[in-house]
A and B are shown apart, each in its own frame.
Chain A
Amino acid sequence: MAKKPDLLPGTLDMLILKTLQRAPLHGYGIALSIKRLSDDVLTVEEGSLYPALQRLLLQGWVKAEWKMTETNRRARFYTLTAAGRKQLGVELTQFEQMIAAIGRVLRDVQEA
């Protein structure tokens, strides 16, 4: 079995927040959504997903409530809060700055 690339450290929270920006989702839905949107490149390990969700809940960036799914199953849906939206903005900015910086370094190395 080929090893899939790990998520960049520190990006999981951001990915979850981004995923929830469009609509409230349950844990499985979040994992599935990330996987699909990344064309199966990014896999969120369940072992990391749920502790991360607990962390976000505790920070107050998401909130959770039990709702019925379309298949009439009870599931816990996570919704982005206002604080979460703000946090997402902060993280996206930081991430873009970081990518830009890495890109500059890589370019420089190639040209040298």
Chain B
Amino acid sequence: MNSISRFVKKLALLFGRDRYSADLDEEMAFHREQAEREFVAGGMMPEAARYAAMRQFGNATRMKERSHEVVGFKAETVVQDLRFALRQLRKNPGFALTAIMILALGMGVSVAIFGFVDAALLEPLPYAAPNRLMDVDENSAMFPRSNLSRDDYEDWKRLNHSFTSLEVYGGTGYLLRTPSGPVPVPAGRVSDGFFRTLGVKPMLGRDFLPGEDRPGQAKILILSYGTWLTRYGGRRDIVGQAVNLNEDSYTIIGVLPREFSFAPRGNAEFWVPLLDKNGCEVRRSCHNLYGVGRLRDGVTQRAALEEMTAIAAQLAVQYPGSNQGQGASVMPLSELIVGKVRPILFTLLSAAGLLLLIACVNVASLLLVRSEARRREIAVRGALGATRVRLARQFVTEGLLLAAVGCIGGIIAAGWVMTMLKRLVPKAMADGMPFLSGVGVNAHTGMFAGAVALAAALLMAATPVLRLSFQDIREGLGDGGRAAAGRFWRRMGANLVVMELSVAMVLLVGAGLLGKSFYRLLHVENGFDTTHLATVQVAAPDSGYPKTEQKVALYRAIGRRLSSLPGVQSVGITSDLPVQCNCDTDWIRIVGKPFHGEHNEVDERDVSPGYLPTLKARLVRGRLFTEDDDASKGQKIVINEALAEKYFPGEDPIGQKVGNGDLDPKSMREIIGVIANVREGGLDDELWPAEYQALYQSSDTFFAVAVRTTPDEKAALPVLVKALHEVDPNLGTYGEITMTDQIESTQTALLHRLSTWLVGGFAGMALVLGVVGLYGVIAYSVSQRTREIGVRMALGAQRSSVYQLVLGEAGRLIVVGVVVGLAGAVGAAMLMRKLLFGVQVWDAGTLLGVAVVLGASAMLASYFPARRAASVNPTEALRAE
């Protein structure tokens, strides 16, 4: 008989399974009847004969099962197990739902965070061979990475052998002429091989050709995909058309592909070649570009750095005035883009992992409680002939089923969480994170989810099986087994709860420290009144204001017009608003002090007379600017205390003179005042020395307006914009925002806020899970000890001593959990030191506060079972058993 026809028969029997069972039943009943008849014929009483027949026949169920095994498929028992598992879960929907929800929560969160880590750290750059791309820049004592000057770049490009191509990019902005007036647009300015180096080809038109970036070449540009769609309606005939930028006509030669993004200039709408040297580029000391290079095969980052450092040293000898102290910096481009978010992502991933751990432990202890409650069932099934393997398999099936459903729920939750988190990242920040578009449910996250689910399933399956192997079936049948099993459960359950509590502690401390950092960050001393300040960026067309007097007239007109608005108290104009960056710096030399060509780097700001009073910056010595400090007078500056302390220790800086490195008479300026430090750099940056020049003496067509207004500065923003256009309809305005919003939306603040909220959320869930876990253990222990407690009370124990008994047990677990958690928390805090701001790793307040919160909520959770224990009625408790 061949195996095929056997298979067909089995298949036929599979579908006629009911019939098969009925036949077998009838056949066996017939057999027993015949045997019984025989016994009766042999002189037995009918009753006794029936029992004898049954005894002789043996275990009918077992036999039926064996017959089924003969004709059944192996997989059928699996289906049986699965059906039984489903029935078990359906019978106890509370348990099943809780377990699945907890699992889905833990999985969803960790898979979602993994999605971000995967996108950011594993595939951060959408370019060809991205790991060969390097960020190539200069460095100096104050800046580990500083801009590359155009002259230095030309030399670097000519002299280096490490890179197959070395290109530069810089940010710029233009006033784009549109039918509805001029609009300021951000743009990127690049060398001709920039896109080729990244490995990006325009989707429409062509790339820049070699040589097209040289001074005097034709004005051409490439559109970013978004601009092509929104400004030019995605027209394919756009190539060759003219665009008016800053009153100059540029020809569109290409459109970049949709997937292209370049994080350092994420918002650039137009890409133009370098062309003529602009503004300060005529000087070698003008640092306004960044380099990006593709490493030659076989050249390492270190070798490239060594070569560029040597070239920089050579240039420093050649051009000491501009290049002394200027070194080189070479690092992976991906480091530049994700370097800042990496520690945050790792922290979040660890936090999510811990939450997942708590979730799994929680579900495992739920399963344990259930296996405890099913001791009788297991014992009965064992006695009826179920083999140990079959019993174990049943539990494994149930665990796997839970894990599978939890996993599916988790993946759905993960997709949802990822979408939500992506939405939390503001547009401006998302521009700098091109990897965000790669975040989602994909092969990587799916694989991760699968691995996590497998681990969870193993845990789910192993817990009850482990439990089963400790148990003697016979013991389970009797009631006497309860005490021993209770002990087992208490030990194992207690360990799990201690683990949950300590992990919750770690998360809570992490969240606490991050929260405190965030608070410190937002309440860092800024040196000015950040409230009621409305700000807006302005770009005036160069053609309208070619001369200094015309610009000054514009500043004054703006000041007059805005001051007349209702609610406006004062108006100031500056080159850069505070709390941005330690950038736009100047190298200064103090007259009369020893000087060896070092670069004394200070922040340089050009401000109107009304600006510092509008900020409410505090004057320490001397005076501020007046309307008279204009181009007709000698140049004057106000300095901050940091500059005074650094360059004039123990002296009065008022009246001292400052100039450029070569003390060019045109650069000489006199110090007229000292103000308390105003934070120019980011919230977590150091305070730098800063000098404030008179805007009327150092004017520009790009500037920012700050207005102090009552009561609602947010409502004032559109009014400001309208008023500015009334001054001159050709003014471009953008970036209108209140100072408080601006501070809260800086990248530092956003990253801190995001990590604080997320870790805080994880910690909150962990706290709930941990406390619920503790509640479960204590409640179970109380229910198992009802008789013991009854006996104690019958023998005269007071209710208070029952409380003591239960709360004492809980207290021990809590103390162990908190102590273990504290140690873990300090360790974890050490690892995320980089993220902390103004808070020590062992911040006593946080540690203590968290210990108290956790301890109190845990004690509260154990209070309820304790109360139940204390209200036990001794007589009932004794009778119940």
Where the two chains meet, the residues of A that have a C-beta atom closer than 8 Å to any C-beta of B are 26-28, 31-32, 45-47, 50-51, 54-55, 57-61, 66, 73-76, 83
Q: Are B34 and A50 in contact (CB under 8 A)?
A: no
Q: Are B66 and A51 in contact (CB under 8 A)?
A: yes
Q: Is the CB of B5 within 8 A of A28?
A: no
Of the candidates A26, A32, A83, which one forms a contact with B1 in the assembled complex, judged by CB atoms under 8 Å apart?
A83
Partner of A55, one of B23, B26, B57, B70: B70
Which of chain B's residues has its CB closest to A59's CB? B1
Residues of the A chain whose Cβ atoms lie less than 8 Å from the Cβ of B58: 45-47
Cα separation A10 to B5 with both chains bound (whole Å): 23
Residues in A whose Cβ lies below 8 Å from that of B31: 27-28, 31, 46
Name the interface size band of chain B: 20 to 34
With A26-B30, A28-B34 as contacts: A51 and B67 at CB distance below 8 Å = yes
Q: Pick the contact of B30: A32, A57, A61, A73 (CB < 8 A).
A: A73
Q: State how many angstroms separate the Cβ of A44 from the closest Cβ of chain B.
A: 11
Chain B positions 532 through 555: 1 when the CB is less than 8 Å from some CB of chain A, otherwise 0 = 000000000000000000000000
Chain B: CB-nearest residue to A31: B31
A47 to B63, CA, bound (A): 5
> Are A46 and B56 in contact, CB atoms less than 8 angstroms apart?
yes
CA gap between A55 and B69 in the complex, in Å: 10
User: In this assembly, does B206 line the interface, its C-beta being within 8 Å of a C-beta of chain A?
Assistant: no
Considering the chains assembled together, what is the distance between the CA atoms of A74 and B718 in angstroms? 97
Q: List 24 A-B contacts (CB under 8 A).
A: A26-B27, A27-B27, A27-B30, A28-B30, A28-B34, A28-B35, A45-B58, A46-B31, A46-B57, A50-B28, A50-B67, A51-B63, A54-B67, A54-B70, A58-B71, A59-B6, A60-B9, A73-B30, A74-B30, A75-B27, A76-B23, A76-B26, A76-B30, A83-B1
User: Would B10 and A47 count as touching, CB distance under 8 A?
Assistant: no
**Interface contact A58-B70, CB-CB below 8 Å:** yes
Which residues of the other chain, A, contact B34 by a CB distance below 8 angstroms? Answer: 28, 32
Do A76 and B27 touch (CB < 8 A)? yes
Tell me if B6 and A50 are in contact (CB < 8 A).
Answer: no
9 closest pairs, A vs B, by CB?
A28-B34, A54-B70, A51-B66, A28-B31, A54-B67, A60-B1, A59-B1, A47-B58, A51-B67
- Contact present for A47 and B59 (CB under 8 Å): yes
Q: Which residue of A lies closest to B30 (CB)?
A: A75
Known: A58-B10, A66-B23. 10 other contacts (CB 8 A): A26-B27, A31-B31, A46-B63, A50-B66, A51-B63, A59-B6, A60-B5, A74-B26, A76-B27, A83-B1
Contact with A along B12-46 (1 / 0, CB 8 A): 00000000000110111011011100000000000
Q: How far is the CB of A112 from chain B (nearest CB, A)?
A: 44
A29 to chain B, nearest CB (A): 8
* A99 CB to nearest B CB, Å: 26
CA distance A61 to B10 in the complex (A): 15
Chain A nearest CB: distance from B7 CB in Å? 10
Q: Does B370 contact A (CB under 8 A)?
A: no
CB contacts (< 8 Å) of A27 on chain B: these are: 27, 30-31
Cross-interface CB contact of B27 among A32, A50, A58, cutoff 8 Å = A50
Is B62 in the interface zone, CB < 8 Å from A?
yes
CB distance from B95 to the nearest CB of A (A): 37
CA distance A105 to B172 in the complex (A): 104
Question: Complex formed: what's the CA distance from A83 to B5 in Å?
Answer: 13
Q: Which of B10, B30, B70 contacts A51 (CB 8 A)?
A: B70
For the complex, what is the distance from the CA of A55 to the CA of B1, rounded to whole Å? 12
Q: What residues of chain B lie closer than 8 Å to A47, measured between beta carbons?
A: 58-59, 62-63, 66
Within 507-560 of B, Cβ neighbours of A (below 8 Å) are at none
Q: How far is the CA of A26 from the CA of B10 in the complex (A)?
A: 22
Whether the pair A50, B1 counts as a contact (CB closer than 8 A) is: no
Nearest Cβ distance between residue B5 and chain A, in whole angstroms?
Answer: 7
- Pair A58/B6 contact, Cβ less than 8 Å: yes
Q: Are B71 and A54 touching (Cβ within 8 A)?
A: yes
| B71: A residues at CB distance < 8 A | 54, 57-58
Residues in chain B near residue A83, CB distance under 8 A: 1
Q: How far is the CA of A60 from the CA of B9 in the complex (A)?
A: 9
CA distance A99 to B9 in the complex (A): 35
Minimum distance in angstroms from A92 CB to a CB of chain B:
18
Interface centre among A54, A66, A73 (most CB of B within 10 A): A54
Q: How far is the CA of A47 from the CA of B58 in the complex (A)?
A: 7
In the bound complex, CA of A50 to CA of B66 (Å): 9
In the complex, chain A residues whose CB is within 8 Å of the CB of B56: 46
Output the least CB separation between B775 and chain A (Å): 49
A73: nearest chain-B partner, CB-CB: B30
A73 to B33, CA, bound (A): 10
In the bound complex, how far is the Cα of B71 from the Cα of A59, in angstroms? Answer: 10
Q: Nearest Cβ distance between residue B740 and chain A, in whole angstroms?
A: 82
- Chain B nearest CB, measured from A34 CB (Å): 14
When distances are taken between beta carbons in the complex, the residues of chain A under 8 Å from B23 are 66, 76
Residues of chain B lying within 8 A (CB to CB) of residue A50: 24, 27-28, 63, 66-67
* Interchain CA distance A77-B468 in the complex, whole Å: 44
Question: Which A residues are in CB contact (< 8 Å) with B35?
Answer: 28
Q: Chain A contacts of B6 at CB under 8 A?
A: 58-59
Please, how many angstroms separate the alpha-carbon atoms of A21 and B815 in the complex? 79
Question: In the complex, A66 Cα to B27 Cα: how many Å?
Answer: 10
Quote the shortest CB–CB distance from A26 to chain B (angstroms): 7
CA distance A11 to B789 in the complex (A): 62
Nearest residue in B to A87 (C-beta to C-beta)? B1
Whole-angstrom CA separation of A73 from B58 in the bound complex: 23
A73 vs B67: C-alpha distance when bound (angstroms): 23
What chain A residues lie within 8 Å of B59 (beta carbons)?
47
Chain B residues lying within 8 Å of A76, measured Cβ to Cβ, are: 23, 26-27, 30
Q: How distant is the Cα of A51 from the Cα of B27 in the complex, in angstroms?
A: 12
Chain A residues with CB under 8 A of B5: 60
